[in-house]
């Protein structure tokens, strides 16, 4: 009994020490002012949207907690030890063999995407502008992996099949990169990061060659697609150097780190970037923020995928073409590569535009000869959910 008391006392001492260390190291004292401000709020006078809730403070505080990353890693280690593949399914993530993270997609009728795409096509036709739709795959080509492994349905590929069939019926030129994966006998897993929903830089380059071929086939371009052969590029490889966006939620101890390849052309490049009124001269290297690779690498902060930047640009070595690429974050790598074969490539991510943005006016004002939509197939159906970050991606009005 005396011994039991002793152990409990020791636990209590450790607990108190832990509480006060946590208080100090988490900067809890800074929260006192925030809580004071929270308590001063006039609940009945202020707009609901302006009100700070205790849940907001709690969430903010959880992000600065003492040893947060170690705790996330511990959580990942526990999930890994227990072989929990769906533990993070409320974040829309399942882990399949090889620590490869996949996300299911809900069924959609594709009606919204279809009508918007059709409307845009008609507008572009009326104005003599070419149009090309590119379907970027997701990390799995067969929806049934979800059914078989996890007992849930995913409709990502079926939604894409339905949407592409409908727009093809309307004679909208469309490239489905899944067909290229199949015909070339590639494994889709090789094209994606395990811990991130984006494709790799190599996959981006591979896809760009096919997109350039599509511009030649459907939009009157004559791009020498051999410029996208891997032999024309220097590749710098890092092993186990970063963690994707999905991996950050699961913890590096769960899914492990990711390899990365930086790809740069071997040939000379000469760009004018439209970052200012006069434009800024530069080379392909200016698309890449190498700080990310060489700075102190915070696994939970830096995304190496985003080291490639989408920049509106003029390639001074190419004479023809002015393309608007309506893309998503996959275009971080495709837009720079595509610009190697086109005189001018601008990119636009509609989810970042204001509600008042007039896409059609923008296209006419800038005199594009071609509009390319390059969307990951999970964009199809995003409009079904008003709270989705991608809700506006197919809003072309």
Min dist. Cβ of residue 95 to other proteins (A): 10
Should residue 349 be labelled a site residue for other proteins when binding is judged by CB under 8 A?
no
In sequence order, what DSSP letters do the residues of 316-341 get, joined into one string? Answer: TT--S-EEEEE--TTHHHHHHHHTTT
36: number of CA atoms within 13 Å, CB side?
Answer: 6
* Inter-residue contact 359 to 393 (CB < 8 Å): no
**Residue 106 near other proteins by CB under 8 A:** no
Binding residue count for other proteins, defined by CB under 8 A: 57
- 96, 112, 141, 150: which one binds other proteins (CB under 8 A): 150
69 vs 189, beta carbon nearer other proteins:
69
Map the footprint of other proteins across residues 39-98, applying CB under 8 A: 39, 41, 43-44, 54, 57-58, 61-62, 65-66, 68, 71-72, 74-76, 78, 82-87, 89-91
Judged by beta carbon, residue 61 or residue 362, the one nearer other proteins is 61
Q: In this structure, are residues 130 and 218 in contact, taking their beta carbons and an 8 Å threshold?
A: yes
The CA-atom distances, in angstroms, between 338 and each of 225, 276, 303, 331 are 10, 21, 22, 9
Q: Computed over its alpha carbons, how large is the radius of gyration of the chain?
A: 25
Beta pairing, strands 344-348 & 313-315: antiparallel
* CB nearer other proteins, residue 21 or residue 222: 21
Our measurement of the distance from residue 254's CA atom to the centroid of its chain's CA atoms, rounded to an integer in Å, reads 21
Residues 231-270, interacting with other proteins (CB under 8 A): 249, 251
CB of 245 to other proteins, least distance (A): 14
Least distance CB 81 / other proteins (angstroms): 9
Determine the Cα–Cα distance for residues 285 and 26; give it in Å rounded to an integer: 40
Residue from 99, 106, 116, 149 that binds other proteins (CB under 8 A)?
Answer: 149
Minimal distance, residue 320 CB to other proteins, in Å: 50
Q: Which is nearer to other proteins, 12 or 235 (CB)?
A: 12
The answer to whether residue 22 forms part of the interface with other proteins (CB under 8 A) is yes
Q: Does 20 bind other proteins (CB under 8 A)?
A: yes
> Measured from the CB atom, is 228 or 254 closer to other proteins?
254
Q: Which of 7, 126, 277, 294 binds other proteins (CB under 8 A)?
A: 7
Contact string 283-322 vs other proteins (x = CB under 8 A): ----------------------------------------
**Planar angle of CA 119, 122, 125, nearest 5 degrees:** 150
Compute the CA torsion angle 174, 132, 197, 298 (nearest 10 deg): 160
Question: Measured from the CB of residue 239, what is the shortest distance to other proteins in angstroms?
Answer: 27
What would the two tokens of residue 360 be?
């059609």
CB of 14 to other proteins, least distance (A): 7
List, in sequence order, every beta strand (DSSP E) within the chain: 94-96, 100-102, 130-136, 174-176, 233-242, 258-265, 271-273, 280-282, 313-315, 322-326, 344-348, 370-376
Q: How far is the CB of 347 from other proteins (least distance, A)?
A: 32
User: How distant is the alpha carbon of residue 177 from its chain centre?
Assistant: 17
Q: Does residue 377 contact residue 138 with C-beta atoms inside 8 Å?
A: yes
- CB closer to other proteins out of 154 and 307: 154
Q: Site residues (CB under 8 A) for other proteins?
A: 3-5, 7-9, 11-12, 14-16, 19-20, 22-23, 26, 28, 31-32, 35, 38-39, 41, 43-44, 54, 57-58, 61-62, 65-66, 68, 71-72, 74-76, 78, 82-87, 89-91, 147-153, 249, 251
């Amino acid at each position: 009994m005396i011994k039991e008391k002793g152990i409990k006392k020791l636990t209590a001492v450790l607990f108190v020490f832990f509480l006060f260390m946590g208080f100090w190291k988490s900067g809890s004292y800074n929260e006192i002012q925030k809580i004071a401000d929270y308590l001063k709020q006039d609940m009945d006078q202020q707009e609901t949207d302006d009100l700070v809730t205790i849940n907001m403070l709690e969430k903010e505080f959880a992000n600065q907690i003492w040893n947060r990353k170690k705790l996330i890693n511990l959580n990942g280690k526990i999930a890994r030890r227990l072989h929990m593949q769906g533990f993070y399914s409320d974040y829309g993530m399942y882990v399949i063999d090889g620590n490869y993270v996949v996300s299911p997609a809900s069924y959609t009728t594709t009606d919204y995407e279809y009508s918007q795409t059709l409307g845009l096509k008609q507008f572009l036709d009326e104005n003599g502008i070419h149009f090309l739709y590119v379907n970027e795959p997701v990390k799995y080509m067969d929806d049934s992996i979800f059914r078989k492994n996890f007992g849930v349905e995913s409709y990502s590929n079926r939604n894409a099949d339905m949407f592409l069939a409908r727009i093809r019926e309307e004679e909208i030129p469309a490239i489905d990169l899944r067909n290229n994966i199949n015909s070339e006998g590639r494994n889709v897993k090789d094209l994606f990061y395990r811990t991130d929903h984006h494709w790799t830089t190599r996959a981006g380059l591979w896809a760009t060659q096919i997109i350039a071929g599509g511009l030649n086939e459907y939009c009157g371009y004559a791009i020498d697609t051999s410029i996208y052969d891997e032999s024309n590029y220097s590749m710098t490889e890092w092993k186990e150097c970063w963690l994707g966006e999905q991996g950050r939620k699961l913890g590096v101890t769960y899914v492990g780190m990711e390899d990365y390849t930086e790809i740069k052309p071997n040939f000379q490049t000469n760009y004018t970037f439209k970052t200012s009124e006069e434009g800024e001269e530069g080379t392909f290297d200016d698309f890449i923020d190498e700080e990310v690779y060489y700075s102190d690498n915070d696994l939970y902060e830096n995304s190496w995928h985003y080291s490639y930047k989408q920049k509106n640009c003029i390639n001074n070595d190419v004479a023809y073409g002015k393309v608007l690429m309506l893309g998503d974050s996959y275009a971080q790598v495709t837009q720079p590569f595509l610009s190697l074969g086109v005189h001018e490539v601008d990119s636009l991510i509609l989810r970042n535009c204001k509600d008042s943005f007039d896409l059609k006016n923008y296209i006419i004002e800038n005199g594009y000869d071609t509009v390319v939509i390059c969307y990951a197939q999970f964009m199809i159906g995003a409009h079904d959910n008003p709270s989705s970050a991608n809700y506006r991606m197919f809003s072309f009005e």
